Chain A
Amino acid sequence: MSGVWREQSVPMVDQECAHLALETIGAVVADTSQAQCSVRIGGRTWIMSHTNGRYAIRYNARQAGSRPSWMDGLGEAYARQVQLKQERLARREQLTTLDAEREAIRQERMVMETERKALIETRKATVIKQAKALGYRVKETVQNGEVRLVLVKSG
């Protein structure tokens, strides 16, 4: 039998996109500060906090049982919001007549993309490091923007 493990948190870099994503899956976001906010969904309240450069809603698997089903849709909803925000910014960048404003928007888009790439690179490096420390050979493939790492150890 083979297992499937999904993360205990959905990592999100952009706060605005995180909030919009949560709203699209039916959550109510409140008490927002830069560091955290509360998220009401499925009759429970969760805390989304900002640590290690990303927003994440954590759950305690032992207390909460299995990963709540709404979390399965959150990653996808967040990716969609990031795409929409990039499109919004690109449109504004095109429409604006002021050079300074255009440059500010361009910078904002770049920062979002840089942060996204940095998160992936950091996480990938961690997985590879831990896998190698445990004696795995690692093969990496990238397909449609998703990284696949195959870890193999002889029996």
Chain B
Amino acid sequence: MKIQIGHTLESSEIYGPGLRSVLWVQGCTLACKGCWNTQYWSSTGGITTSVDEIVEKWASTPELEGITLLGGEPLQQVGPVHALIRGARRMGLSVFLYTGYEPEELSTDMLDCFNMSDIVVTGRYVHELRNTNLRWRGSTNQIVHFPTPRYQALDIEEQHEVEVHLSSEGELSVYGYATDEFLTSIEVKS
């Protein structure tokens, strides 16, 4: 089964509990005003890859606690995303799913993905409600759900998180809730 993806991060510490592989699913038609990830809107952007290949990569990544799916809108490729979630669960990895949909907007297949995930953040990004000091969310209307018991006892300490990756050749990538001030100071934004 094929999936269109925008970006991947082999391991990260800011997209949920523990060390996680992160996948930005390509394509989103929800068009939230002020979206930070417009490069993932087009359904034909990014690259086409196979679900099996992604799952194999997770299997060979050391010390992973789980995977995180965001985008774009993961649930707009619900078939492959369902397969990815099943693959992760088979390996005992926890699943953190981001969706711009509200729970009541979910179709049966989407709801299946929701219910199989250990943590789900739902809701559009609302620019007027933007708050970069929230853990795992960008605006105050977004809600964190725990559909399975795995993390239900977890205490979410609200904090502002940014992750900077420096490749072996010195290339910088920044993830999370970085401010313009910080991005400009390290020359990632002019």
Given contacts A146-B166, A146-B168, A148-B165, contact A3 B177 (CB under 8 A): yes
The reply to whether A130 and B186 form a contact with Cβ atoms under 8 Å apart is yes
State A5–B173 Cα separation when bound (angstroms): 6
Is residue B53 within 8 Å, beta carbon to beta carbon, of the partner chain?
no
**One of A25-33, A87-95, A96-104, A121-129 contacting the partner:** A121-129
State A134–B162 Cα separation when bound (angstroms): 12
> Which residues of A from 21 to 79 have beta carbons under 8 Å from B?
54, 60-61, 66-67, 69, 75, 78-79
Is residue B36 within 8 Å, beta carbon to beta carbon, of the partner chain?
yes
State A122–B110 Cα separation when bound (angstroms): 46
Q: Mark B129-173, 1 if CB is under 8 A from A, else 0.
A: 000011011110010000000000000001111111111111111
The reply to whether B164 and A152 form a contact with Cβ atoms under 8 Å apart is no
Is residue B32 within 8 Å, beta carbon to beta carbon, of the partner chain?
yes
Nearest-CB residue, chain A, relative to B179: A134
Residues of B within 8 A of A127 (CB): 164, 166, 172, 186
The reply to whether B190 and A3 form a contact with Cβ atoms under 8 Å apart is no
Residues of A within 8 A of B186 (CB): 126-127, 130
State A29–B181 Cα separation when bound (angstroms): 35
Residues of B within 8 A of A147 (CB): 165-166
**One of B11-19, B84-92, B101-109, B111-119 contacting the partner:** B11-19
State A12–B143 Cα separation when bound (angstroms): 42
Nearest-CB residue, chain B, relative to A74: B171
Residues of A within 8 A of B173 (CB): 4-7
State A2–B177 Cα separation when bound (angstroms): 6
Residues of A within 8 A of B171 (CB): 7, 10-11, 75
Is residue A150 within 8 Å, beta carbon to beta carbon, of the partner chain?
yes
Residues of B within 8 A of A (CB): 7, 10-15, 24, 32, 35-39, 45, 70, 98, 125, 133-134, 136-139, 142, 158-179, 181-183, 185-190
List 12 other contacts, CB 8 Å, given A4-B174, A131-B162, A136-B162: A1-B125, A3-B174, A4-B37, A4-B175, A8-B190, A75-B167, A82-B169, A126-B186, A146-B165, A148-B165, A151-B161, A152-B160
Query: Can you list 27 A-B pairs, Cβ within 8 angstroms, ordered by A?
Result: A1-B36, A1-B137, A1-B142, A2-B15, A2-B70, A4-B7, A4-B39, A5-B173, A5-B189, A7-B187, A8-B188, A11-B169, A11-B171, A12-B169, A66-B39, A116-B169, A130-B182, A143-B11, A144-B10, A145-B168, A147-B165, A148-B11, A148-B13, A149-B163, A151-B164, A155-B158, A155-B159
Residues of A within 8 A of B (CB): 1-8, 10-13, 54, 60-61, 66-67, 69, 75, 78-79, 82, 116, 119-120, 123-124, 126-127, 130-131, 133-134, 136, 139, 141, 143-155
